[in-house]
Amino acid sequence: QEGSLCAQHCLNNLLQGEYFSPVELSSIAQQLDEEERMRMAEGGVSSEEYRTFLQQPSVNMDDSGFFSIQVISNALKVWGLELILFNSPEYQRLGIDPINEKSFICNYKEHWFTVRKLGKQWFNLNSLLMGPELISDTYLALFLAQLQQEGYSIFVVKGDLPDCEADQLLQMIRVQQMQRPKLIGEEAAQSRDQRLSRSDVDQAVEVNHPFDGTGMLDEDEENFQRALALSRQEIDMEDEEADLRRAIQLSMQGSRRSELSGSLPQNVPQSSHSSQTDSLSSEELRRRRQAYFEKQQQQLQQQDQTPDLQDKVTLSSGTPEPGTGGDMSEEDMLQAAMNMSLESVRNHLNSEEEK
């Protein structure tokens, strides 16, 4: 629709052709104004009513492009068409059934549009829509009743409409409409609202964080990388502690098989000992490991072993000699525990072979 020329669009949609222009409708309106002026003049040109009539604007058209029902009715008379008010006494007398009619003209607050049957289907030809809206036969009566409830004036168009291509085509086929056409400007309004909403969000972000987005991304990335590094360190520490505990347990189990097994109480189950080791704190476990390693070193020195084997164990384990006073690192204690475990297993296998 262009401007407020809804009456022109209503008539051309009804007739399915460019039959009326604003100039032609203005000519009809001016003719109606002149006829009304002549009637008022019959009561005397010097009367108060006549002077008041001349001062008032035209009721048949205005500068915005609106035309009255009288203009539309006179324009349709050229085509032999007549307008009857919906649910009027004449309408009731004729027993009109909406489903059997061909078209309706609707008006509300100076807006006109056409509802017409093309082929075997009804369409809402409102010029404010992006396209024709399909109306089912079962919904037609409800649609008209809803318009009446909203304050629309509805007129039935009586007479034969001119032939049109749309009516001929839709006599042979039926159409289906998956989505209702939107109002003109509805998509543009929605896009504008979305842009305004995004603009408000951006302004709020700038107010709360008055720095550019690059800095935010860099800071978030830095915090994320720092969290990952801390997580990896915790995992590595947990894995190292678990490996160390398993090595200590293997060493203690190997010692129980060898000659050091008598140093442990015989009535304590192995599973109970493992659970007690797991329940020890890190500091207490370190002290016990240190004392155990020192005891192992003293016992190894007291045994009559070959010098080569002692040198081999000392070099491979990297453990300090007792009495040096230095604390062993976690890696040194792990290596020493593994070497002693292997040595115990080796001695046990040698004794088994001798037997």
| Alpha-carbon span 223 to 229, nearest angstrom | 10
| Furthest CA-CA distance within the chain | 151
Of 126, 120, 108, 21, the residue nearest 65 (C-alpha): 21
Question: Exactly one of 6, 13, 106, 124 is catalytic; which is it?
Answer: 6
Is residue 6 part of the annotated active site? The answer reads yes
* Token pair in block for residue 22: 């604003």
Buried-state track 333-344, b at ≥16 Cβ within 10 A, e below 16: bbbbbbbbbebb
Question: Exactly one of 74, 87, 111, 348 is catalytic; which is it?
Answer: 111
Of 347, 346, 302, the residue nearest 322 (C-alpha): 302
Question: Exactly one of 12, 60, 124, 126 is catalytic; which is it?
Answer: 126
CA dihedral (301, 305, 306, 312) in degrees, to 10, reads: -60
Of 58, 76, 59, the residue nearest 13 (C-alpha): 76
Is residue 10 part of the annotated active site? The answer reads no
Strand 153-158 vs strand 82-85: parallel, antiparallel, or unpaired? antiparallel
Annotated catalytic residues are 6, 111, 126
